[in-house]
Structure 1
Amino acid sequence: MSKFRTIEITDPKYEADNLRFIVLKSENLKGRGDICVYVPPQAKAGAVLPVVILLHGVYGSFWAWTHSAGVHFQLNDMINRGELPPMILAMPSDGLWGDGSGYLPHSGYDFEKWIAEDVPQALMEKLDCVTEDSPFFVAGLSMGGYGALRIGVKYHHRFMGISGHSSITSLMQMKLFVEEDLSVYKQADPDDEGVYQTILRYKDSLPPLRFDCGEADQLIEHNRMLHLQLQAAEIGHTYEEFPGGHEWPYWTQHIGKSLRFFAELLKF
């Protein structure tokens, strides 16, 4: 029996490029939520596969990673070259609140639990290759990097690895992108609003994590500060910088680093 009042998945007869779509009614969203899922053709029947949840940024939705970066084509090519094992890509909407939900609980919704609890549950209900034994990873860009770093750390029992690209690192940086008043996003505990504070709280149970940022990105100094804070606190992580700005060409070029990072973790 499903944990959701309603949940549907696309008919395989009408799917293209191994993409399928799930829609479900979520108590956390107080309505329906969408998930785009890529199941690689290399998956063997009966196999239990790892899952990478990819979070989009502001203004985006469940189609952003596939139709702005072609991430599923990249994954397929990397599997064919033997760089990665077959893995599922799950790309949910953020809840479609305002310019971006921030993947936080607020306004009577819980966009955080939508990602951490509902999305994995939906995949396990609708895909035979996803079970409780599937390793789960989370990554994202910009606001999605903020969500991935916070949620991956808070729900460390669920996620085996975390990666962020051009990540927002604290709630105040949302004002660079959204028109909604930041007071709406405020958390009861201010420490829940910052990536560093969240990592510090859970430092004894952190999954492996990495993050990167473009040298011309408006968030570069914030990412550098997070790196320095983690170094000073002697918290293990990987941080990289590359040429580029806050834009799809950068994320398209570097999402493969997240996928390789997760693949390496599967070996241990």
Structure 2
Amino acid sequence: MAFLEVNYYSKVLGMDRVMNVILPELSDHNPTWTTETLKDIPVLYLLHGMSGDHAIWQRRTSIERLVRQTPVAIVMPSTDLAWYTNTTYGLNYFDALARELPEKVASLFPQISTKREKNFVAGLSMGGYGAFKLALGTNQFSYAASLSGALVGNPRQEDFLKMEKLSYWQGIFGDFDSFAGSKNDILALAKTCDKRPKLYAWIGEQDFLKPINDVAISTLQQLNYDITYETAPGTHEWYYWNKQIERVLEWLPINYVQEERLS
């Protein structure tokens, strides 16, 4: 596997951006891989939470080791603190990540597949919201996974004010009264989605976001989405996300090879 830090320019945002990429390559570590193996490679876009950036998955988890024997590319971008959203202050992070970024990846890495059935997205906390939002708001991704996701439909203002002040949230989403049914409401997006992705969600039983996950998953089930919902003892922290990202890899259609199975 090659690990690359890619600096590129985003026309949508009007600024330089950075993404980390884990890319399969021919090497002695994978003697069965051929040039054919590494054509049309599936890709997982891995999204960070509120306190993270493009490097946080690499720093806090075993993601590079986990995919060492699996021909899948991992793309780790940053949305800063913008919630994968076209913000009210004029920076269109949703467009930059949902539409521009896959085009940028295709131009820089032609061996990575552009096929919907080979494009996946996953994230934690804010990134879990982003993963479902990107998958339900576009036709780009066939699988989407949320770990401890902020799967908000109609957010309660008082809950959000526990995390940040009102002016911050208004800068991202606008007024809370207009959130439900908007393009930022993942449950509203689920009702109008053209090509339904398969969905996966995990959350710890002691996580403060579990109640909104229960509501969101119930709604998605009522809408007849193909969704796997799993819970286990746990809180909102990296110890659990490091464990659960392997579960996501097992769930994705990528022929995941666990390292411990190798001789």
Superposed pair shares fold, TM > 0.5: yes
Question: Aligned-pair distance for 1:193?
Answer: 2.6
Is 1:27 matched with 2:8? no
TM (normalized to structure 1)? 0.81
Matched, 1:117 2:125: no
Cross-structure match for 1:177: 163
Q: 1:142 corresponds to which residue?
A: 125
Compared CA separation, residues 265 and 200, structure 1 to 2 (3 A): farther
Q: Deviations over 1:78-112 (max 9, x none)?
A: x3xxxxx4100000011x2xxx1100001111111
* Secondary structure of 1:231's aligned partner: helix
TM-superposed CA distance for 1:123, in Å, is: 1.5
User: What pairs with 1:163-242 in structure 2 (closer than 5 Å)?
Assistant: 163-170=145-152, 172=156, 174-179=160-165, 181-186=168-173, 190-191=180-181, 192-202=183-193, 205-242=195-232
Instruction: Indicate whether 1:130 and 2:112 are aligned.
Output: yes
Q: Which amino acid aligns with 2:63?
A: V
Contact 1:54 1:140 in 2 (8 A): yes
Q: Which amino acid aligns with 2:220?
A: L
Contact 1:58–1:177 (Cα < 8 Å) also in 2: no
How far 1:163 sits from its partner (Å)?
A: 0.6
Hey, what's the Cα distance between the residues in 2 that align with 1:265 and 1:234? 26
Provide structure 1 residue ranges, at least 5 long, that are not aligned to the other structure: 1-16, 80-84
Whether 1:101 and 2:101 are equivalent positions in the alignment is no
CA RMSD of aligned residues (A): 2.3
Kept in 2, the 8 Å contact 1:102–1:143? The answer is: yes
**Per-residue Cα deviation, 1:31-61 (whole angstroms, up to 9, x for no partner):** 0111100013446325220000000000211
Please report the TM-score for the alignment, with normalisation by the length of structure 2: 0.82
| Cα displacement (A) at 1:174 | 4.8
Q: How many angstroms apart in 2 are the aligned matches of 1:45 and 1:265?
A: 17
Give 3-state SS (helix, strand or coil) of 2:112's partner.
Answer: coil
| Deviation larger for 19-28 or 140-149 | 19-28
User: Are the equivalent residues in 1 in contact too, given 2:43–2:113 (CA < 8 A)?
Assistant: no
* 1:60 aligned partner: 52
Equivalent residues, number: 237
**Runs of at least 5 residues in structure 2 that lack an aligned partner in the other structure:** 257-263
